[in-house]
Structure formats: structure tokens, C-alpha cells
Amino acid sequence: MAALPPVARGLMIHRAAGDEVAVYRFYDADERLLYVGISKDPMTRWQEHMGRKWWRNVTSYEVRWHQSRAEARAEEKRAMAEEEPVHNIHSAPRYGAYCRAAAQSPEARASRAARAQQIAAGVSGAQRRKAEEAAKKGQADG
């Protein structure tokens, strides 16, 4: 682990008072970008990240404030595309490709077709879930 500086000084990060939105980045000890996110209240949002497996690898961060959510979102999107953070899987192109491929699988198409038939027949979501649970229980018992 890198030696810590004897003194660290910086601005406190508080919730935005107006329309400002922060773009934050987390880095590991090798300065590899782990995650990029946006928030009007970064410190609170970071507490939500603390439960992630990768959080223990975070050794430093960077925060930049933008005048609007649109500006921050554009910066976040650019960062994810160009800087390739390790743990932003939901916004990464490879995750989108995975989801599209999964949606086109024979199982997914059959499930959507079955659901369309149930909707046409007036079967509610609760009724469908109850029937699925009964079917699973029957398979387990049988």
C-alpha cells in the first residue's frame, strides 16, 4: 500500500444547495478507475456503495460538480465509455449487449409469449406468480 501523506486537506462535500450535481470517481491503490457515479449528495450515496464487494479496494476519490444533472449525466456517460471503470456494469456497453442477447434467447421469447397469452386471458400478475409457485412446489414434491 502506498504511504499516506502526513496531511490531507480538501473541501468538505455536502449536498448540493441548488441544481448542481457531482460526478465522482473511485480509484484503487494502483489508480485504476473502479467506479463513476453522480449524485447531489455524494457522501450519502457513497454509504450505499459501502456494501459492495469492490468497496474495500477504494483508496481515493475525485469529485467534480456540474451545473445540472444533464451535464453530470453526460460526463458520467462519457467517462464510462472512454475511461472504462471496472464496476459500472449496468451502464457499460458489454452489459447492454448481454441484456439484449438474453432478451432474444428462446426462453425469454417463450416467457414473453406465455405472459402475453395470460394477459389476453385476463390472468393477473399475482395469479400468475401463485400458479408458478404451485408448479415449482409440485415439481419439488414429485
The answer to whether the beta carbons of residues 57 and 90 sit under 8 Å apart is no
For cell 464510462, the residue is: 80
Confidence of residue 95 (pLDDT cuts 50, 70, 90): low
39 φψ region: left (φ > 0), alpha (ψ -120 to 50), beta (else): beta
Q: Convert 94-111 to b/e letters by CB count within 10 Å (16 or more is b).
A: eeeeeeeeeeeeeeeeee
For cell 460526478, the residue is: 23
For residue range 31-41, list pLDDT tens digits in order.
Answer: 999 999 999 99
* Range among 66-70, 89-93, 97-101 rated most confident: 66-70
Confidence of residue 105 (pLDDT cuts 50, 70, 90): confident
- pLDDT, residue 112, reads 72
C-alpha neighbours within 13 Å on the C-beta side of residue 109: 5
The type of residue at 17 is: A
Mean local confidence (pLDDT), 99-106? 67
Please indicate whether residue 123 or residue 23 has the higher confidence score (pLDDT).
Answer: 23
> Closest by alpha carbon to 11, among 42, 47, 37?
42
